[in-house]
Structure 1
């Protein structure tokens, strides 16, 4: 690494830690190779305890991937009857959750109970509070949910979250229309969440990356492009108040990634088995790119220093 000050402090977060043993192994291999610097744990996933044990063994910085859309609730009182689950006892899914929210069918009190239960389970598994807390499938920035989420983080003094507003998102013609539409809505929800997070004293890196570099869209050139956008954007209207060192010319950023070895069909998940996303060869592709020595060389060249949320 250059002796000069870094231009960027980059948190590379491996999401969905705990999803299955093969995802866990891939994420750990990626961390040991220097490709990621942080993980986000799904506490209701089938291999969550194994993941927490691996994080302890390898000293991997770990946060909570709060999950309201996949699998079953952690809070026992919500497992039999609640607005968050369908007739089979599972969360309503990425779009099902959003549709039920739009119809006014979800109890925010139950959302709060589940979020607090997931933090308690995280602490049981890891022995400490999460260093950061974000939302699986970006549920934490949705209307109403974001107020509850911010209150929980503030009450429990969890300092960092994720604000998925990505520079350059709208100049990516290779993204299919349905993804562009979904990401645009995620961005709108995230922008609306910013004043709420600020009011509660929650912090986040100045720049977010990862929507445009998922799966087969991840490559050394696409990551170089994303980093260039981040360095050009620097501190912006999405910057949290109170990011340590934010008055310095060092950009803080988070890159969301989903590496792993593809899940076996009947091994893993959050109660319903692993989904197509986790079984996809895209997981191995991301793993290979993130471990590529030329990417690590690019970080050196651009003076990008990998770190964890606790280092910001």
Structure 2
């Protein structure tokens, strides 16, 4: 029987106290098995303490798009900042990048500063590191990101290529365009990460199951479809038939109790996504007993990147 190891990663740990509490509640209920820390989040120090207290496996959610940098020299005059002195935002970062306005040495400086701050807060280097709003797979950035991971010996990352994404007709066209852009960037990143010896789980899920689109049946079908897709791939001499091996999956989630302004965010207050009911909806869905029992029935073992 195919053994499945599932990493359920709660992103944006450190964003605000209510997000932290929601993620901890999910971890203690066995609904989340791994977390990703925003070191520039307003509650990052508190999140690191909670991770230590409850022995929560924690990695770094590198942030170049929301809030303020952590690198002191970049806080006042940097290509990474807009006229208000904050990062350019999810789409603003992509626009500035496409226009050649971002200084890649500053990108590297900030990523290294975030790894160093993570180390300072947690007492260890991150076992895995990915990008907030998927900035780590963008052109140019992907090379810098891979160099930083290799320099610090960080083995694991996330490559957001989701099987069956094209068939998700419940995702609105504008969001689907963004997701397909992320997917294309991810395909173009695979070789770069491979060259630097970086690894990632066999399967990624999370775009089709975010926010209001999360349901127990959506998670089940996304996992089942992804495993079917994976096992259908012809084995090569280097890889045994999938049935006789372990398949690893990362499910990206964003549970939490909604942020209440002005508390939260990464320097400029909480965004709409963090204040919406969708955070609580994810938390409640992930904690449903039928989801947990499905994992057991299907021989799915929850774990973290440290366990791979």
TM range (shorter): over 0.9
Question: Partner residue of 1:299?
Answer: 295
Question: Partner residue of 1:262?
Answer: 258
What are the residue-to-residue correspondences of 1:24-43 with 2, within 5 Å? 24-43=20-39
C-alpha separation in 1, matches of 2:169 and 2:301: 29
Question: Partner residue of 2:45?
Answer: 49
What are the residue-to-residue correspondences of 1:235-246 with 2, within 5 Å? none
Runs of 5+ in structure 2 lacking a partner? none
**CA distance change for structure 1 residues 107 and 233 in 2, over 3 Å: closer, same or farther?**
same
What are the residue-to-residue correspondences of 1:98-247 with 2, within 5 Å? 98-234=94-230
Report the TM-score when normalising by structure 2.
Answer: 0.96
Question: Partner residue of 2:90?
Answer: 94
How far does the alpha carbon of each residue in 1:45-82 deviate from its partner, in whole angstroms, 9 at most, with x for none? 10000000000000000000000000111111101000
1:274 aligns with 2:274: no
C-alpha separation in 2, matches of 1:165 and 1:42: 22
Question: Partner residue of 2:249?
Answer: 253
Between the two proteins, the alignment pairs up a number of residues equal to: 303
Give yes or no for contact 2:18–2:259 (8 Å, CA) kept in 1. yes
C-alpha separation in 2, matches of 1:144 and 1:48: 28
Alpha-carbon offset, residue 229 of structure 1: 1.5
Runs of 5+ in structure 1 lacking a partner? none
Q: Could you tell me which of 16, 21, 28 is aligned with 2:17? A: 21
Alpha-carbon offset, residue 7 of structure 1: 2.5
Secondary structure of residue in 2 paired with 1:13:
strand
Alpha-carbon offset, residue 234 of structure 1: 2.3
Give yes or no for contact 1:207–1:233 (8 Å, CA) kept in 2. no
Report the TM-score when normalising by structure 1.
Answer: 0.94
Alpha-carbon offset, residue 235 of structure 1: 6.7
Give yes or no for contact 1:206–1:236 (8 Å, CA) kept in 2. no
Alpha-carbon offset, residue 216 of structure 1: 1.0
| Coordinate RMSD, CA, aligned | 1.7
How far does the alpha carbon of each residue in 1:185-232 deviate from its partner, in whole angstroms, 9 at most, with x for none? 000000100000000000000000000000111101101111112211
C-alpha separation in 1, matches of 2:134 and 2:83: 24
